């Protein structure tokens, strides 16, 4: 009696998302297509549709999984902090994660391509809700939208000028970043006197 063993595929959603993340980081967003992903995983393209409906959902799920990691990191690092200290930590953790996580930064740069009910948007809302819970005197503080926009703008400028000659030392960059955040969250003397 001859027994023929067939190799069972061990593909699952986590493996699909991990490979898609790897592809975004190494090949870029435009090269992260369903056919290219299937080839990288060693499966037929049709197999991927057992896990995701389309490329848009795939990218949304990748971004959502990366944002969940950011959320967990924020929860750990914000324990015991409040006020401006918590706000600075929140801004630093988000900035540092986006500078380290090329896939997440790339996907957030393309947020306008995701529908309002996508997984990534749901996870971004959780991050924003966490930011809203920080205990800060909000009388003179700009909107969280402006703060998040400033942090993302800083990250994208830093990422896209990578490889170009830096005019700031790392220490100066850190100080300038904190100055930007401070100006957004603290009333200026001029505002107080107005």
Cα separation, 53 vs 184, whole angstroms:
41
Higher pLDDT, 87 or 70: 70
Output phi, psi for 143, to 5 deg. Answer: -65, 155
Does 74 score more than 60 pLDDT?
A: yes
Q: How far is CA 142 from CA 17, 128, 132, 145, in A?
A: 36, 14, 12, 8
Closest listed residue to residue 151, CA positions, set 107, 87, 102:
87
pLDDT in tens, 33-61: 999 999 999 999 999 999 999 999 999 99
Q: Which of 18-27, 37-46, 159-168, 179-188 has the lowest mean pLDDT?
A: 159-168
pLDDT in tens, 143-153: 666 777 788 88
Whole-structure pTM value = 0.80
Sign of the CA dihedral running 117, 10, 71, 28: negative
Residues contacting residue 162 through CB under 8 Å, at least 6 positions apart:
none
Does 7 score more than 50 pLDDT?
A: no
DSSP string, 47-61: HHTTT-SSHHHHHHH
Higher pLDDT, 137 or 52: 52
pLDDT of residue 136: 59
């Amino acid at each position: 009696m001859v027994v023929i063993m067939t190799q069972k595929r061990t593909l699952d959603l986590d493996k699909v998302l991990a490979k898609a993340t790897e592809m975004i980081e190494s090949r870029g967003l435009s090269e992260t297509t369903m056919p290219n992903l299937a080839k990288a995983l060693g499966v037929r393209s049709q197999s991927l549709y057992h896990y995701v409906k389309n490329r848009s959902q795939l990218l949304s799920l990748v971004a959502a999984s990366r944002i969940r990691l950011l959320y967990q990191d924020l929860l750990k690092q914000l324990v015991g902090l409040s006020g401006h200290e918590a706000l600075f930590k929140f801004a630093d953790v988000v900035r540092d994660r986006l500078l380290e996580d090329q896939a997440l930064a790339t996907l957030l740069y393309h947020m306008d391509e995701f529908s309002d009910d996508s997984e990534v948007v749901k996870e971004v809302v959780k991050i924003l809700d966490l930011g809203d819970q920080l205990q800060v005197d909000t009388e003179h503080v700009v909107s969280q939208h402006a703060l998040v926009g400033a942090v993302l703008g800083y990250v994208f400028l830093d990422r896209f000028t990578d490889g170009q000659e830096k005019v700031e030392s790392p220490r100066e960059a850190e100080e300038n970043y904190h100055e930007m955040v401070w100006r957004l969250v603290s009333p200026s003397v001029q505002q107080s006197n107005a």
